[in-house]
Structure 1
Amino acid sequence: MPRHRSAKRPMHILIFGGTGDANRIIRSLQHEFGQDIRLQLSLAGRTSAPSIPDGVPVRIGGFGGPEGIIAHFKTEKIDLAIDATHPYATAISANIAKACHAVAMPCIQFHRPAWAKTEQDNWIIVNSIEEAARILPDHGTRALIASGAKNLHAFEGLEKTWLLVRTVDAPRDTFDLAYGEWLFARGPFSVEGETELLERNEIDVIVCKNSGGKATFAKIEAARDLKIPVIMIARPGGEPVLQAPDAKTVVQNVRNFLEQF
C-alpha cells in the first residue's frame, strides 16, 4: 500500500515516454506511492495512437531543446524527471540530461538492458542504419526491416534485396519502397508468429536495432531457430545520468528521492 506524507505536497514527476516501459513504470509508481506523487507524461507525438495510462495528464510535442525542457520544468514545478524514451531516441535523451544537469534536476534514465548474443545467433554488428543498408545486399535477397520508421531512406535504391518493412505507423519522411512491401504492426510478437512471417515471406536476413525488452525479441528467437542472420544496429552511448535497468529499480530510486523531498 502507498505510504502517504500528508504534511508535504506531492512530488511532481515528469516522465518522458513513448514506450510500453514508460507505461509500466507509471503503473508501478501509482501503485507504490499513490497520492505522494503527481505524474505527468510527455510524448513526442510520433505514434498516431499512443497507449496512455489512465489518470495521467499528457503533454504531446517537442520542447525545442534543453532550454524548452528547462522552461517546462519551471512552469510545471517539476521535482523529478524520468527518461523512459526509446533506447535509440538519443536526441531527446541528450536534451533531457543537459536540461537536468543545468538546473540540478534529479533524473532517472530507464536503460532497458540490450539483448545478448548467444552462440546460436548469427549477428552482424553495425553502428548505424546507413551501414546496415550498405552491407545488406551481401547478406540476403529478402529482408525484414524492423529498425523503426526513422531514416528508412537509407534503404532506397536497393535493387537486389526485396524489403518487408515493418513499422507501427507510416514514416513521416519520404521513403520510396520500390522493391518490397509495407507491414504495419505493433508488438508484442510471438515466436510462432514471427517464424510464420519469416517463412511465408522467405526472409533470409533481418535488420533491427538492439532495443532490448520482451515485446520484439521474438524475431531474434525466430531468426536463431531458422538460422537467419541478423544485421544488428548497436546502441549509441548513453548520457551520464542515474540509470535504472527495470521498473523495480526506478521505483526504488524514486523512493530514495521521495524520502529526501
Structure 2
Amino acid sequence: MKVLLLAGSGEGRVLADALYKMGVNAVASLAGATRQAKPLALPTRIGGFGGEDGFCEYLEREKITHVLDATHPFASRISHRTALVSARKSLKYMQYLRPAWTAQAGDQWHHIRDETDVLGLLNKTPSTVFLATGRQTLERFANLEGHRIICRQIDPPTSPFPFEGGEYCIGRPPFSVGREVELFEALGVDLLVVKNAGGTASRSKLDAAALLGLPVAMIERPPQPDAPKVDTIEAALDWVRAC
C-alpha cells in the first residue's frame, strides 16, 4: 500500500503528521500556492501534476494504491479530477471534507453563490470590503470597482492589484478573534467576504464580525465529487487503518 495525501487544507498537515507516526508508506502533495510553506512530516512534492495525463503518469510511476484527498473545500476541480481518475484506475479514494460553517446567534450572514454576487449587498455609497478569500479568485471581484477593496493574503504580492480601488493586507494565520476585531476596526470594514471553508482555526474572523455587528457575505461551497467522504480526522485515519 502507498498513500497519496493531497494536503491542501490545514487538516492535511495534521493527517501528514499522523500518517508519519503510524508508519504508513505515504507521500504528500501541495499545490504550491503558498510560498515557503512549513514542511510536512511526509515526503512532499510541490506543484501541479500537469493536468489529468500528468496525474495519471505520477500515480503509475509512484505505484500509488490509495488517495486521501484533504484539499480545500473550494478546490473542487482537483477533487473531481482525483475522484474520477482514482475510480478509473481502481484506486481506493477518500475525501476528507470538513463540515461547513453554520450561522450562530449574532451572525449577520448573506449567503451568495459566487464572488460577483457581493455587489448586490452594497449600496451606492463607497464601502470598505474585506476579502478573506485569498488571491486566486481576486479578479472575480472586479465589479466592485469604486469601493475600497482589501484582500488579505499570506505572501507579499508579486503584481499590482488587478483593478482600481484595491489594496493588499498581508498576514499569516492563525488570527485570534481579538486581533481580527482590531484589524477590522482599524480598516473601517463595512462588509466581510468569506468562503464557507469550515473548520475551527479560521472561524475567528466570523466571530470578530459578530462582535462588531458586521455583515458577512458567505460564498457557498461548490459541488463536491460523488465519492466516499469523511468529515473528521479520526475517520480519515480509520479509513487508512482499514485498508
TM-score bucket of the superposed structures, by smaller chain: over 0.9
Corresponding residue for residue 236 of structure 1: 222
CA contact (8 A) 1:164 1:183 kept: yes
Deviates further, 80-89 or 117-126: 117-126
State the alpha-carbon separation in 2 of the partners of residues 160 and 228 from structure 1: 20
Q: 2:189 aligns with which of 162, 183, 203?
A: 203
Q: TM-score, normalised by structure 1?
A: 0.86
Q: Deviations over 1:91-145 (max 9, x none)?
A: 111110111010111011110111111242111111111222x325339711111
Cα–Cα, structure 1 residues 245 and 173, in superposed 2: closer, same or farther, change >3 Å? farther
Secondary structure of the residue aligned to 2:172 is coil
The answer to whether structure 1 residue 22 and structure 2 residue 7 are counterparts is no
Secondary structure of the residue aligned to 1:45 is coil
Corresponding residue for residue 176 of structure 2: 190
In our comparison, the structure showing a higher alpha carbon Rg is 1
Q: 1:44 aligns with which of 31, 39, 49?
A: 31
- Consecutive unaligned residues of structure 1, counting only runs of 5 or more, are 1-10
Counterparts of residues 60-71 of structure 1 (less than 5 Å): 60-71=46-57
Identity of aligned residues (%): 33
Secondary structure of the residue aligned to 2:122 is helix
CA contact (8 A) 1:149 1:169 kept: no
- Consecutive unaligned residues of structure 2, counting only runs of 5 or more, are none
Cα–Cα, structure 1 residues 41 and 211, in superposed 2: closer, same or farther, change >3 Å? same
Q: TM-score, normalised by structure 2?
A: 0.92
Q: Deviations over 1:5-38 (max 9, x none)?
A: xxxxxx211111222211101112222x22xx21
The answer to whether structure 1 residue 96 and structure 2 residue 52 are counterparts is no
Secondary structure of the residue aligned to 2:2 is strand
Q: 1:223 aligns with which of 201, 209, 221?
A: 209
State the alpha-carbon separation in 1 of the partners of residues 175 and 155 from structure 2: 16
Aligned-residue RMSD, C-alpha = 2.0
Counterpart of 1:93 in structure 2: which amino acid?
S
Q: 2:120 aligns with which of 131, 135, 143?
A: 135
> By how many angstroms is 1:171 displaced?
6.1
State the alpha-carbon separation in 2 of the partners of residues 46 and 226 from structure 1: 31
In the alignment of these two chains, the number of paired residues is 242
Counterpart of 1:199 in structure 2: which amino acid?
E
